[in-house]
Amino acid sequence: MREAFAFLTVLGRSTTPTPRALHWFPVVGIAIGGAVGGSWWLFNELFPPAVAAALTIAVDLALTGMLHFDGLVDSADGLLPHLSRERRLEVMRTPDAGAFGVGAALVVTIVRVACLASMSPEVLLVAGVWCGARAVVAVAPARLRYAREDGLATAFIGGRGGWLSVVAVVPATVVIAIATGWPALATMAATIVGVVVVLAFAHQRIGGFTGDVLGASILVGETAGLVVASARW
């Protein structure tokens, strides 16, 4: 659990994770989601909805150390342009941001803020979606090959604990249902689809996953869940 928190958040001491950390990805997700959802509720009591939503996204970025956000930018820069596989991986490794990365970051951030601003604060909704996204991502190392020869995410190669963590999708959906009712199924389905689409796209473009791809998958999955949750049911 400590390894999972250290890898996915700014909490805990920096350490190289092991495949066992995959078991705890959903737990970290519900903890981050609970904190972000709680912040959303508090900010909404103090500020207009749009301001509260923007501050809530800032809290999420702070708690995750912008890890997933950085993964989104790097993945967009490497996966979206017409490049060779080797060039894609090279671009994803560089620290600078290109037009594709900036564009993806802007779209995702604006959509997340707009979704939160259009809804009443629901702590359980955020906790469930954040949990579900990380539960699905934890399965990736068991199903996809690692696209690089080195990198921090190599620590997850061969990890099978992710299969157990997918069970967390069920209680996460129940948590969302308590807050939103029957649309919880659609919300969780959208979260799962968002994660899977990014993983599948990365598999097609670079033949597997990287740490950046995992981060991008989480962020896109969360955003897809928020979009569906904010629909006029």
Q: How confident is the model at residue 154 (pLDDT cuts 50, 70, 90)?
A: low
Query: What percent of the chain is modeled with pLDDT above 90?
Result: 55
The pLDDT assigned to 163 comes to 59
Q: Which of 3-7, 13-17, 139-143 has the lowest mean pLDDT?
A: 13-17
Q: How confident is the model at residue 14 (pLDDT cuts 50, 70, 90)?
A: low
The helix, strand and coil proportions of the chain, stated in percent and rounded to the nearest 5, come to: 75, 0, 25
On the question of pLDDT at 151 being above 70, the answer is no
The pLDDT assigned to 219 comes to 96
Dihedral of alpha carbons 121, 116, 9, 214, sign: positive
On the question of pLDDT at 148 being above 80, the answer is no
On the question of pLDDT at 161 being above 60, the answer is no
Write out the DSSP string of 94-106: SSS--HHHHHHHH
CA 84 and chain centroid, separation: 26
Summarize pLDDT for 86-137 with one digit per residue, the tens: 899 888 888 888 899 999 999 999 999 999 999 999 999 999 999 999 988 8
The tokens for 192 are 């799962």
On the question of pLDDT at 37 being above 90, the answer is yes
Q: Pick the closest to residue 187 from 9, 178, 57 (CA basis).
A: 178
On the question of pLDDT at 26 being above 70, the answer is yes
Q: Which of 15-24, 56-65, 87-96, 204-213 has the lowest mean pLDDT?
A: 15-24
The pLDDT assigned to 160 comes to 59
In eight-state DSSP terms, residue 183 is T
Average pLDDT on 181-205 reads: 92
The tokens 């979009």 sit on which residue?
A: 227
Write out the DSSP string of 142-173: HHS-BSSSSSGGGGGTT--HHHHHGGGHHHHH
Nearest 10 degrees: Cα torsion 169, 174, 177, 182: 80
The pLDDT assigned to 158 comes to 63
- Across the chain, mean pLDDT equals 88
The tokens for 76 are 């967009």
Summarize pLDDT for 41-79 with one digit per residue, the tens: 999 999 999 999 999 999 999 999 998 999 999 999 999
Q: How confident is the model at residue 171 (pLDDT cuts 50, 70, 90)?
A: confident
